[in-house]
Amino acid sequence: MNSDNLSQKNAIVSWTGGKDGCYSCYKAMNDGFKITHLLHFQNLKKTGSHELNPALIRAQAQALGLPLQQRDFYSYEEEFKKAALQLRSQGERFDAAVFGHIETHKPLVDRISHDLDIDLILPLWKQNSEKIVNEIIDAGFEVILVSVRDGFLGKEWLGRRIDDKFIADLRKANSTVDPCGENGEFHTLVLDGPIFKKKIVITGSDPVYREGYWFLKISEFSLQEK
């Protein structure tokens, strides 16, 4: 579909760098949405389990060939709406917002989409976590664990790739852990996939413990041609 065709629907994507938002973006693209921007927000109130080197998010956007908005926030809801309205004031047109949520935060994203008068796209909502993981693997995404919650998984899981053995290994390690990490047991980083024009290669990293989580502190990485 021609991107200049006004009948095509444009969408912005809530982006954390992890698998759920990335796969939701991929599914929205497959459904015919043109992604205009990725929106990435960093919580100023806490370091948080989603914490990543912001340069990695910029590298992902570059690898995808998509514009990125990066912002700090005290209120995610307010900052998301502010960022979207600013894009709109600059002449950007979008009809929907894509989120990677599976089980949580529905009232939040309902309010955001309602207040912006846009469609809410939740491609993974209420889907089975094991099914989602297998679909992500089958689609060809390269995903690694970049944080794990202490007491659920050990630091040896940092950098672990989500591959064909991942779910079985997870069950052996701790059968209570959701395969998507939906309860905050782990968080991920996408390095490559079918919508990536380049791939991210990590060349330097160290485990760091903070606030009940082990983090993979990624200090060196590069973008490589595929």
Question: Which of 86, 121, 156 is a domain's end point?
Answer: 121
pLDDT digits (tens, 9 = 90+) for 115-126: 999 999 999 999
Mean pLDDT of 179-187: 95
CATH number at residue 163: 3.90.1490.10
Q: What is the bridge-based pairing of β-strands 186-192 and 142-149?
A: antiparallel
Query: Please, which pLDDT band fits residue 51 given cuts at 50, 70 and 90?
Result: low
CA angle 151, 133, 170 (to 5 degrees): 30
Give domain status of residue 127, yes or no.
no
Query: Under the phi-then-psi rule, with left for phi > 0, alpha for psi from -120 to 50, and beta for the rest, what region is 62?
Result: alpha
Residue 95 belongs to domain with CATH number: 3.40.50.620
Separation between Cα atoms, residue 125 and residue 146, nearest integer Å:
23
Q: Are residues 29 and 87 in the same domain?
A: yes
If pLDDT is split at 50, 70 and 90, which confidence band does 46 have? low
Residue 134 belongs to some domain of the structure: no
Shared domain for 117 and 156, answered yes or no, is no
* Same domain, residue pair 153 and 109: no
Residue 133 resides in a domain = no
Mean pLDDT of 204-214: 93
How many domains does one find in the chain?
2
Do 107 and 21 share a structural domain? yes
Question: Do 117 and 18 share a structural domain?
Answer: yes
Mean pLDDT confidence for 172-187: 96
> Quick one: average pLDDT of 95-112?
95
In a domain, 24, yes or no: yes
- Whole-model pTM: value is 0.93
Residues 113 and 16 in one domain: yes
**Are 14 and 68 members of one domain?**
yes
% of the chain surpassing 90 pLDDT: 87
pLDDT at residue 173 in the model: 97
73 pLDDT band, cuts 50/70/90, is confident
Assess if residue 132 is contained within a domain.
Answer: no
Range of the domain at 16: 10-121
Q: What angle do CA 119, 123, 129 make, to 5 degrees?
A: 150
The per-residue pLDDT of the chain, averaged, comes to 93
Residue 76 shares a structural domain with residue 171? no
DSSP letters along 59-96, please?
HHHHHHT--EEEEEESSHHHHHHHHHHHHHHTT---SE
Of the pLDDT bands very low, low, confident and very high (cuts 50, 70, 90), residue 180 is very high
Average pLDDT (169-193) is 96
